[in-house]
Amino acid sequence: MCGRYALALRPSQIRQQFQDYNIPVDDAPEDEGDDAPRQSYNFAPGYHGMVYRVDVGDRGSAHREVATTATTSDRKELEERSQDQEADVSSDGLTNSAIQEPSSFGEDKETSSNSRPQYKLQSMKWGLIPFWTKRNPDYAAVLKTINCRDDSLAQPGGMWNTMKKGKRCIVVVEGFYEWLKKGPKEKVPHYVKRKDGKLMLLAGLWDCVTYEDNGQRLYTYTIITTSSNEQLRFLHDRMPVVLEPGSEEMKAWLDPKRHEWSAELQTILKPYRGELEVYPVSKDVGKVGNNSPTFVIPVASKENKLNIANFFQQKGAAGKVKPEATVKKEGGDEEKKTVEELQKTTDDGGMDTSGKGIKREAESPSPSEAPPTKKAVTGSVSPVKARLKISATKNPVRSPAKGKGKGDGSQKITKFFGNSA
DNA sequence: CCAGACGTTGTT
DNA sequence: GTCTGG
DNA sequence: CCAGACGTTGTT
DNA sequence: GTCTGG
């Protein structure tokens, strides 16, 4: 599946890639700033990553987003959906109205920028938290939503029900890691990326939650998994759903008009058919917090420390490293220390590629909120088991008559992406 | 009616 | 939020 | 996802 | 083993 990946590019670089693929980007985070995603060769759950999705814009003015072919029922549903917490955060008041600069991206040979949806890159936190969640959930609970199985979307109801209809997205990665189990103890990390070198665009879902005690919006996402393709079967039985940049499938996946789950959408969630590159990498990627461009470099076999040492020597940062220190020995302790030294040296020396990958998340939503961690308790009381749970609103509302029926809304839309199906 | 789950992977 | 179980 | 911690009493 | 942190 997908529990760790690489995303070292800056937002502006990602945006450029999208434009190279002829994929429109109407908005994106700044390279520096609070809403910038983390850049890391060792990107882990809980980090803020890069998500691409339709930008619904503010509520109430949904009309302007409706394509000319839209029916009145489409219009109605658009407005219904717009109450789902989806006000634009990126708008500091200026946004709305006329800011649609159609200039920046690819060929806007058409003046169609008024009739197509707006798309944006956005920083969100990995590990989906549904909008109805009341309090900051348990860490373990969040871990269980870093992925979403394709077959669980095929079933009606469930946790994903609202998101699969209206909050589909693309998760942008350069490649992902998978640990091959060679024994009960030994795991060898492998890196998986596209052979053609393009960004890997993963099918995902997103949501936005506001906890009771804190008015902040928190955007989160999950990555959809499916069966592995033939190429990855030796590694693992699951893999993320990889979409072709600019393809009709990608367009359909993001299409806001498709506001019901359908066989077509389900069909998109299939094992990747294209060519991948798969190879073992440094075991150091296993330790979260380590971050090095060497993590995406192939490693000869089990002895990967040597490659790392070579890399650092290239950078001129590891002059003091003795060659023999990198040789694998029985004393695991000693060699670990050596690697730490290596990496520490690099951090100080400033490796341009890692850049702000060292940046830490500023997670505290508000200074007033107590940390969710366990508190020290006096006396002989056993450790607190204050399990923070996701609790739903228990709300005495009668179930509204479901606005059911109606067509699939599979209207034809004006073209945006370069077609490459 | 209310209370509680709602999720994934991997290992057994 | 929606659905299930009691 | 993996790696790493997992504890107490008493004194300052 | 279970839980936390990244």
Chain centre to alpha carbon of residue A76: 30
CB A276 within 8 A of CB A232: yes
- CB of A383 nearer than 7 A to strand E: no
φ, ψ of residue A415 in degrees (nearest 5): -80, 140
Distance A362 CA to E1 C1' (A): 32
pLDDT classification of A333: cutoffs 50, 70, 90:
very low
Domains and CATH numbers, chain A: 5-311 (3.90.1680.10)
Reduced to 3 states (helix: H, G, I; strand: E, B; else coil), residue A375 is coil
Task: Note the strand E nucleotides within 7 A of protein beta carbons.
Answer: 3-6
Residues in chain A: 421
Tens digit of pLDDT for each residue in A71-112?
433 443 333 344 344 543 333 333 333 333 333 333 444 455
Reference A285, options A98, A68, A5; nearest CA is A5
Among all strands, which nt has the closest C1' to A184 (CA)?
B11
For helices A332-349 and A305-314, angle between their N-to-C axes, nearest 10 degrees: 20
pLDDT for A183: 85
Q: Which nucleotides of strand D come closer than 7 angstroms to any CB of the protein?
A: 1-4, 7-9
Q: How far is the CA of A213 from the C1' of D8 (A)?
A: 35
Buried b (16+ CB within 10 A) or exposed e, A234-256: ebbebbbbbbbbbbebbbbbbbb
Mean of all residue pLDDT scores within chain A: 70
Percent of residues, chain A, with pLDDT higher than 90: 53
Task: Please state whether strand D lies within 7 Å of residue A45 at its CB atom.
Answer: yes
Distance from C-alpha of A293 to C-alpha of A338, rounded to nearest angstrom: 18
Q: Which residue is nearest to nucleotide B2 (CA to C1')?
A: A394
Nucleotide closest to A1 measured between CA and C1': B9
CB neighbour list of residue A251: distance below 8 Å, 6 or more residues apart = A416, A417
| Residue with the larger pLDDT of the pair A46 and A387 | A46
**Contacting residues 45-74/A vs strand E (CB within 7 A):** 45-46
ipTM value greater than 0.95: no
User: For A11 and D3, how far is CA from C1' in angstroms?
Assistant: 29
Evaluate whether A129 touches A137 at the Cβ level (below 8 Å). Answer: yes
CB A366 within 8 A of CB A214: yes
Q: Return the pLDDT at A301.
A: 55
A261 CA, E1 C1': separation in Å?
41
Spatial distance from the CA of A290 to the C1' of D4 (Å): 14
Query: Exposed, middle or buried by CB within 10 Å (0-12, 13-18, 19+), for A306?
Result: middle
| A397 CA, B3 C1': Å apart | 15
Which nucleotide minimizes the distance between its C1' and the CA of A392?
A: C1
For A129-165, how does the pLDDT look when each residue is reduced to its tens digit (9 = 90+)?
Answer: 999 999 999 889 999 999 999 999 999 999 999 999 9
Mean pLDDT of A305-318: 44
